[in-house]
Chain A
Amino acid sequence: MSSVISEIRKDYLYNLMLRGQRADGRAFDQPREISIKTGVIRKAEGSALVTLGDTQVMVGVKMQPGEPFPDSLDRGVIVTNAELVPLASPMFEPGPPNEFGIELARVVDRGVRESGAVDLAGLCITPGEKVWIVFIDIHILDDCGNIMDASSLGAIAALLTTTVPAKKFGLGEDYPLPIKDIPIAMTAVEFGGVVMFDADVDEEAMADTKLTVISRADGTICGVQKSGTGVLSQEQIYRIVDIACENAKGIREKFLEV
């Protein structure tokens, strides 16, 4: 959902790009400054406020006992939802999630699920009857570009600090949510043949194609999503995958591993 960008700004960014530069001086593969604050919401079982440049995303994790899915009776359940609330951008409107919100939530969910980040087998209470349900709720607060990576980072950061509220439901002592992997999403946009990582809101408005790559701690890939109305060449995809997997390591080490 790209915002409006003035022709003169577009021209300026395009000419910078031709010289190998970006408006904020970053290299094409360099993400913006990241900060993660966890445990910011006392009422939630886990939470994180992520800033990625000027983008701000809040993720809260709530847990409650519920019924398992019929095809996985002894495993916990993950439910991911994203709210693109109108306070975050002039492009967001009130109402039920549109396809952008749904895609965002589903890609974040795919990263958490496919990486096996949460040990779902450790969330069974009574097999076939009762399991823990983990609700991951993403609230975009300020969309200054690349809410995908910020949301994904927020989700895993919140999960890492989540405590299973067993006591509240009379199910024994509280314990930390069992986490097995740390998936990191890295998104690049393409315009004029150039690939840029962690686009800000103007760069996103210029590009019509995005690729998100989610990798695990061991460097394997657990999720990919192209979005937008443009095309990518095979070589561009391979390059984005390689850089995404490499850059993810640094972020994982710096912010998320203890």
Chain B
Amino acid sequence: MQGNNGNITFIRDGVRLDGRRVDELRPIKIEVGVLSRADGSCYMEMGDNKVVAAVYGPREVHPRHLQEVSRAIVRYRYNMASFSVEERRRPGPDRRSYELSKVSREALEPVILTSYFPRSVIDIFVEVLQADAGTRTAGINAASVALADAGIPMKGLITSCAAGKVDGQVVLDPMKEEDNFGQADLPIAITPWGDITLIQMDGDLSRDEFRQAVELARIGCGKIYEIQRKALLDRYCQMESAAQEA
């Protein structure tokens, strides 16, 4: 958050740089079951973000001392490809990746029925192939679908979306320019029944704006939820009809 927008106007006549309105999401594409080795997988595009998520497990825990006798542990690895950003990133996890992995795992864990699989692990791997603001939210959305694709019992799908502030106005799903030069970024993740499993914020928001941003991000999540649901239904209806034909 630099707060200094270098004299760019981000919203003109209610329209943003990429032609969206303030309450509009970027185009979303979700594909289910894109990897054959993984137990569940999902490819997702949110605007210019391209992420792929894989789920392995429930499977045996290595190293063994990490296992829990009463439940499965959940691991989440958020990783950015070195070519995913403008300037080449050094491969491997940095401090940001560690933090995002932690909060993303904590965003998904509340809906996973881990007590069904004691002494095992559910591994979630998210690779960011192209980044354009909102990779953590895209990663969580993809991971949630991949978990469902892997057949992991869950109370519901987690959906994640960010709101931001540019030109003093709260906007939905900020893209790169709005994120870099905007005044705030607030990603959330929610359950289908509205509990919040992830919330982070940086930048500059009054208490009123904070509430506006949370509201707006929730509306965004509602829309993404429908797309996630449809992607899963399409995939499994297709499989069902293929099975019937055979």
Contacts and interface: CB of A to CB of B under 8 A. Distances in A.
A201 interface: no
Contact of B206 (A72, A221, A230, A238): A221
A226 B207 contact: no
A231 B195 contact: yes
A232 B188 CA distance: 11
A231 B196 contact: yes
A234 B214 contact: yes
Interface in B19-61: none
Contacts of A106: 95-96, 99
A114 B106 contact: no
Contacts of B231: none
A177 to B, nearest CB: 20
Contacts of A211: 199
Contact of A233 (B2, B99, B194, B205): B194
Interface string B67-105: 000000000000000000000000000011011011100
A105 B98 CA distance: 12
Contact of A225 (B96, B200, B203, B218): B200
B202 A110 contact: yes
Contact of A221 (B106, B109, B207): B207
A6 interface: no
A231 B95 contact: no
Interface in B191-245: 191, 194-207, 210-211, 214, 218
A111 to B, nearest CB: 9
B205 A221 contact: yes
Interface residues of A, number: 33
B98 A102 contact: yes
Chain B interface bracket (under 10, 10 to 19, 20 to 34, 35 or more): 20 to 34
Nearest to B3: A116
A179 interface: no
B118 interface: no
A232 B202 contact: no
Contact of A227 (B103, B195, B196, B204): B103
A72 B211 CA distance: 31
Given A106-B99, A233-B194, A228 B207 contact: no
Contacts of A231: 110, 191, 195-197
B158 to A, nearest CB: 10
Nearest to B94: A102
Contacts of A93: none
A163 B9 CA distance: 39
B203 A233 contact: no
B113 interface: no
Contacts of A176: none
B157 interface: no
Contacts of A145: none
Contacts of B206: 219-221
Interface in A85-119: 99, 102-103, 105-106, 110, 113-114, 116
A61 to B, nearest CB: 19
A219 B186 CA distance: 18
A184 to B, nearest CB: 15
A220 B184 CA distance: 12
Contact of A241 (B109, B197, B210): B210
14 contacts: A99-B98, A102-B95, A211-B199, A216-B204, A221-B210, A222-B204, A224-B200, A227-B102, A227-B103, A231-B110, A231-B195, A232-B196, A234-B194, A238-B214
Interface of A: 72, 99, 102-103, 105-106, 110, 113-114, 116, 211, 216, 219-234, 237-238, 241-242, 245
Interface of B: 1-3, 95-96, 98-99, 101-103, 106, 109-110, 186, 191, 194-207, 210-211, 214, 218
Question: Which 6 A-B pairs have CB atoms at the shortest separation, nearest pair first?
Answer: A224-B201, A231-B195, A229-B109, A99-B102, A226-B199, A102-B98
